[in-house]
Structure 1
Amino acid sequence: MAKIVGHEESVMDLQFIRSDLLLTASSDRSIVLWNLNTVLGGSVQQQQAFQGHEDCVRGLMLSKHEDGFYSISNDQTIRYWNMTNGMCERIYVGHEHFIFNINRLNKEYFITCGENNAVIVWNEKQTTSWQSLKLPTVTIWSVLASTSNVFYAAGSDGILYIFTNHNDRRPDDQSQTLYDEMLVKQTKIPFASVSHLKLYEENSLVTIPPRNDGERRLIRSLLDNTILVYEWNQSWKPVGHVPDYNQEEFDHSSGCVPYNDEFYDEVFNVKLNGKNYKLPFNRDQDPWIVSQAFIELNQLDYGALTSLVQCIVNYASYKPKKVENNGLFPIYEFKLWSTMKNLEAFRKKFQEFNATVDEHLRLSDEYLQVTSSEMQNPEAICEELCLALKKLMKWPKNLKFIVSDLLRVLLTNKYFNTYFLHQMESDEFKPGSEFFQSVIQCGDNLSTQLTSLRVVANLFGSVHGAEFAYKNFSYIRENIVKWTDLITNINVHMAYASIWFNYSVLLSDHKKRQNHQFKHMIMEMIQEHNKLIESESYKPLEDYHLVIIIMMNTFGNLIASKFNSQMADSHLQCLQQKYVKCFKDNSEIRYCLRQIEIAYDQYSN
């Protein structure tokens, strides 16, 4: 028995050329041609060696004329060798991992497969891939063509994949979608290689056209929030996923969140019909209009409208994503007036007034039976309540206080607050309208002033309401009752102070913090209150320190917005010199002053 000895490591493949010539490929990186007719000392002699691969040579395939051959290797290359002179004439590059098998597809094309779920079709005359196919399995061990139009790929997942260019054998859409999903989950793309790409939502594949062929986008999957890589080649196709995606989705310099090619104040996670959507929202937008546009863009059922609005209303906030302050300021929570201590007494008084107005302005008995629970959670009856309020706004002036008291309680509910303004701000409740004007000007008696001022403060009960108040700030400031015209009542003064405090909370919003005129006007309201303190006209009011603390908190928020001016410096000195002296025994005022000083040191530079 003869032996063939010469390789230093494992022999990986054999290929007969003729009955007397044999090619062998080895993990020692060499290929050897043996002449079986030349035997010396019992060993077949080497006729020629082919050197060039940098790693294990795994397979061989003869050229169609058998005057050369192809070799595949762990070095990720395919080489074509001239059998006569032993030279490597072509190196085919395209695989990204080990190559395990090579086979002919037809006279001009061959196919290879390997690790990293790759099958590549090659044209013999081109050293770059003619077509690259990814399969939803880690390894493709072998490929074999049955005809020039059909080939099979053997996967490590136990599945035999069949490929063809016959149109009548194309898979149906459902099978193709399933295959694409399997493929994407298998193909891992490292974040480092796509970190330069922006993250988009799935709807961008329809709404934002590609700039060029081969363009790639990172897309968040609606199904499980996986970050996918899509590539454009006549259509968008997923080519893999990014398991280690770690890009921060928040711009701290602007306080905004990126969404497709824009930035928004908020981007909410919404799950509808088993899919995960991103709902972008700017605080100055109407939640109903945003939700309607979102439904149309994503081709959703309009039955989702209410839940989308509720998502925006419940989760929209002025509190930043990252809070770094070390003291009391800024304060992010609005001061609202929500309690109604005795609903039954209120209902009884309301019934009395209802009986005295003209019949066309009266409410039916069903409105008068609204429960305490419905008052606190009026989401289900918002439409009915707004219809009732349209009547109530036309009640006589001397009865407006009880209408305002009802409205101020309802406005503390975020959903009703948003719904009411969505319905009313273009007509019954807008600057210049009779009812809005009566609320702003407050009247000259205790009940009217107290309830009206609390309505204005409670506009901040939702982000949409706060934006309405901000949009109309100049009008409200110019037309509202002045400090000096307030009724001498601690609750009236606290309600009035809370309006300006709530405006100061808006300064946590990045865009509003840039509005220097807005900040300057808040400072003017603080100074007007300071004049009231200096005149000592507050002294008849018991517990007036509660009003002072609200206005000090307003000033603290203003300082935290980096409001640097001579007015602010002067007011701080006034607090340090006069307030401490006048209220030296009040620990709350001393604490608040200390927190203002901390904020001043932190934000004034």
Structure 2
Amino acid sequence: MEPTLDHYKISCELLGHSLDVRAVAAGGNAEGAGQIIVSGSRDKSTKLWKPISGNEYIESVTLQDHKNFISYICYLESEQWICTASNDATICVYQHDAFVPLITLKGHESTVCALAGGLQARSIISGSWDKTARVWLISETGDVTFVTLQGHEAAVWAVATESAQQKYITGGADKCIYYWNARGEKLRLLKGHTDCVRGLIPLPANSLLSCGNDAVLRFWNEDGECVRELNGHTNYIYAIARNQALGEHIVVSCGEDSTLRMWNVITGDQLGAPILHPAISVWSVACLRNGDIVTGCSDGVVRVFSQDPARQATESVRASFEMAVNTHKAQLSEDIGGVKKTDLPGPEALLSNGTREGQTKMVRHVDGSVKCYSWELGKWSLVGDVTGATGGTQETSGKKLHEGKEYDYVFNVDISDTEPPIKLPYNRGEDPWQAAQQFIHRNNLPQAYLDQVANFIVKNSESAPVVATQSTAGYQDPFTGGSRYVPGSSSSNVGGSGNMDPFTGSSSYSTSSSQRPSNIDVNFVSASDKHFPVSTYRTFDTCDANKVLEKMKEFNNKLTSAEGKVGDELLLAVIRLTDKSPEVDPTALEALLLLLKWPPGMLFPVLDVVRLAVRHEAIFSLLHNSHNFLSSVIPQLSGAAANQLMVCRCLANALTHRSGRQQLETQLPHIVELVSGIRAGSPNLQIAIATFYLNLTISQTLSVAQSEVCHVVTSGLLELLKWAKDLEAWYRAMQAIGNLTTTPCGQEVIALVVSVDHVMDKLRELTNTPQDENFAKVNMVGQALLAVF
């Protein structure tokens, strides 16, 4: 009688991983239950589980040699090697009972996501997101050689070895399957999958089974024809494995639909009802020699299923498993604004790059929650939980639903007579100008619409008051939950004091000494202090060099040599330029110039190094005289917000010495034009722009003032004050205006400022605000300015 999955029951659950179990494998020379189970997780660990009785395993070893999550595990029986692949782009090879790697294979330029034994002894084949597969041969002496299989146009998600024909097989995100010889030459191309190929199994008679994100298993004959499709899964199929204890043509599969399924690939029949798991993603599957099936899931649990009653769990354990499954079934029926949670992608969706800055994506997580992510600076950044994720609708929630998220208002905005209205979501308490800026970016609208859209929000949201929005300092990695290095990620309003520096977490404006920022010289003053003219240049000095280096290494690992990838030793040389008194190292300067050619989305940590290096006149002069590095830096003022922030800080720091002032003043009209094009941004960006202008005005008070410079700087300041809301930014901008009023150009400056009603109204408002500790210095500098006007 043909075996079916109906005979399988839960045998045991192996608990120990803290995050998704992305990979499982079985190995060991002992027969039956003597095989060990190996599991790899997003928690960066690999665990070995040894059997101690029929259905009991103990955690015998935990391996923690990878720097990022484990994506695949392969057990080589011939060598008794445990091979682990990771998102850190390396492969660790362990002897069966070892605690440290026998060798670590490096060479892939991105995540290694597939492994299999090679055609020769002591060889393996790997697949990577870098679009290549590699065949590695490890000699007895530890020497490593490899052959690169190059031809896929996207990530290589699946690899296999066809021993009888001495061929390698690879499948990728380009929907293609390739056959290769041992020299790395293409032999055959199979096409048929309509989405990413995720698994491959060579079968007898030179046939092949494949699976993919199109939720279909395909059976290919020896002529490379797809002669059978196995349908049943309702979402991505992540893995397939042969269950040879049951027969040559019996395979199991698992995927994003929470199920484990069994198939006869010859007849195409599904064998029994699928086993539903109490987790969204069943990432991986492996089979023991005794026929037991092992799965690794997104809830961090390794599960073993058996058809042998002697190895099946007790009634109480089985009842507990069924209860968890039923709870999961109930969760699967929940929706968000009419969209089923099961139709939303899991965290795997965050492995694909966004298509535009500001793009948002809802992702379903292991715990049943749904979170919203935004594509920013080349990464998916956590925005927050999607509310209304428990079956709530617009009628029951009392809010408006847009793209699955609740808002107080969702406006219809008509921008064309021939196009349908565009949805503009808005929550009370948001800054209308920031909401308008996001709306413009999201819909690729002209920047000139900013004030019009913001005023529309104010008018139609009953003039909802602006309060401090939630800080984005809590960005999390969607897989590890860890924080990341993100510049300019805080938000604030005039009258608030919660601005957070993205690197240190320090407040950028506070009169409390315990909260004084470490990255900005706030210059606290008393009523008797002179507010202008200011003669001391402001600089941005503080830097967590380790975080910057870590981010540069992360970006560097994603690049190829042609795209600007450099060795780690050059990154270390570059990071030393952030020292307070760095050596003028030509190698470091050359490397820094190379890094400035990186893609704009990866440039902000490099610009962070630049803004510290240019504090030193000797370094600035060398960079400019030899390479005119400003031509690479200044255009970024029109780029991403993170790059804008770093460039403004860089310019402010460069103005503190004579060489910097000379070079910047020759390009001042162009620079101010670009800076004036920035009409929205974080408090840190507002402060950086104001400090740039303040330092420009200091040079005018300390030397012969130039009328054209004063005019350009005043115009730039007025543009900033049309949208800036941060108190510290206003304070420095007002100091800058005050500086200019003390020069021979003072009357011209006063006339320009007085002519801008918005600025004068805001100045009077700030000056008339009660003088609590948050407003004291702003009150006083405002009063001093009004006295001059």
The interval holding the TM-score normalised by the smaller chain is 0.3 to 0.5
Q: Structure 1 or 2: larger helix share? A: 1
Q: TM-score, normalised by structure 1?
A: 0.38
Q: When the two structures are superposed, what TM-score results if normalisation uses the length of structure 2? A: 0.30
